[in-house]
Amino acid sequence: MKLTMRRRGEGGRPQGSGWREMGTWGLAFLLACGLWLFVNVGERTSTRTVRVRLDLLNLPRGLVVTNRVADYVEIGVAGPGIVLSTVDPARLVASVDLGDVRPGRATYTLSPGDFSLPRNVEVARVNPSQVMVEVDRLSRRRLPVRIEWRGELRPGLRLVDSAAVPDRVQVVGPRRKLEEIDSVATRPLDLVQLDSGVTEIEATLEAPGGLVLLREREAVVRAVVDLDLTKRRFAGVTVVLRNAHQAWQVVPPVVDLVIQGPRGEIRSLELPADAVWIDATGFTGDQARAVTPGVVVPPGFEVLEIHPAAVRLVSKGSRQDGRE
């Protein structure tokens, strides 16, 4: 009997075909598992919170919403997970139709039907579920401009007058808010920038707020500044003779002065010894005469009064000298 030996792989199947079949069956198994997971997990109900933009539509002309209304609402949605994954919050909008609103307060309820969502997706909750709006009529008024100052003038100055051009401006806003406003203020202006005389400053007007709008945003402020003057009395100031060619007696020998000057300087003002004087040039003879003294004060000061207004010059060798 003759036996014939064959190598494995010869004859029926090619060498290595068993490994390929196992790989194919393994891949098929994984695909089946993935398909099962996709179908079952995708169909499983899931929940999700979505932020939705809130729009107010069709507000009648001449009305304005005066309260703060949320820009967004949050909704809780439920549905198949695969469907929920396709919901794009950026494309969702909740609208409140204000077409029939009237001045006052109105409340609108948001229901699940107000949201456009894919099939099989339900709205489980809405937060907030109600939207409250306060509405008022738009109104117009012309209000005076109020000049606001800050700081202080430099020493020795005082604000005599100030005015704005224009002195009244138009404002537009909710009627009830306008009834609470009596003027429109400028942004604070620095008093330190003012000098003696007339100064014109461009000023920005401050919006009153509360949805009130200004038709004009600027005004020119005209400020009139003068020296801050006050009076001071100087008593018993000696009258000094100048250029006397003979002996004269001044009767009375002293006078009282009322001098006006800057408030911050007049308190420390000291008059020189010859502040009040008489020029005796050309005065001769024994005849007494009435003379108005001259007064010298520093720049910025002014003599308002002198008492007495005139004094007498009497020759010391005359008979009148003894009587005086």
| pLDDT value for 45 | 72
Q: Give the end-to-end CA distance of the chain in Å, rounded to a whole number.
A: 189
Contacts of 293 (CB under 8 A, 6+ apart): 239, 255, 276, 277, 278, 306, 310, 311
Same domain, 253 and 213: no
Reduce the DSSP state of residue 109 to 3 states and report it: strand
Q: Are residues 242 and 297 in the same domain?
A: yes
Residue 191 is part of a domain; what is its CATH number?
2.170.120.40
What is the reported pLDDT for 1? 32
Residues forming beta bridges with residue 169, ordered by sequence position: 143
CATH of the domain at 71: 2.170.120
Gyration radius of the chain's alpha carbons = 50
> What helix, strand, coil percent values describe the chain, rounded to 5?
15, 45, 35
Range of the domain at 318: 229-323
In this structure, the answer to whether residues 259 and 269 fall within a common structural domain is yes
210 within domain boundaries: yes
> 98-122 pLDDT, tens per residue?
999 999 999 999 888 888 787 788 7
- Give the pLDDT means over successive 10-residue stretches in the chain (324 positions): 39 55 63 50 70 92 93 87 77 89 93 80 86 95 96 89 96 94 96 93 93 94 92 95 90 96 88 94 87 93 94 77 46
Instruction: State the pLDDT at residue 114.
Output: 82
Q: Residue 251: phi, psi to the nearest 5?
A: -125, 115
**Residue 147 and residue 113 share a domain:** no
Q: What is the pTM of this model?
A: 0.59
Question: Domain check: are 155 and 124 in the same one?
Answer: no
Same domain, yes or no: 279 and 315: yes
- Which domain-ending residue is among 61, 93, 128? 128
Final residue in a domain of this structure, among 102, 128, 154? 128
Most distant CA atoms of the chain, gap in Å: 196
- What is the total count of domains within the chain? 3
The reported pLDDT for the residue numbered 60 is 95
For residue 202, what are the CA distances in angstroms to 157, 216, 227? 21, 13, 23
pLDDT at 87: 76
In a domain, 143, yes or no: yes
Whole-number pLDDT of residue 320: 52
124 and 165 within one domain: no
Q: Any long-range contacts for 129-133 (C-beta under 8 Å, 24+ apart)?
A: 131/54, 131/69, 131/70, 131/73, 131/96, 131/107, 132/67, 132/69, 132/105, 132/106, 132/107, 132/108, 133/56, 133/65, 133/67, 133/69, 133/96, 133/98, 133/101, 133/105, 133/106, 133/107, 133/108
The last residue of a domain, from among 177, 194, 227:
227
Residue 68, pLDDT score: 92
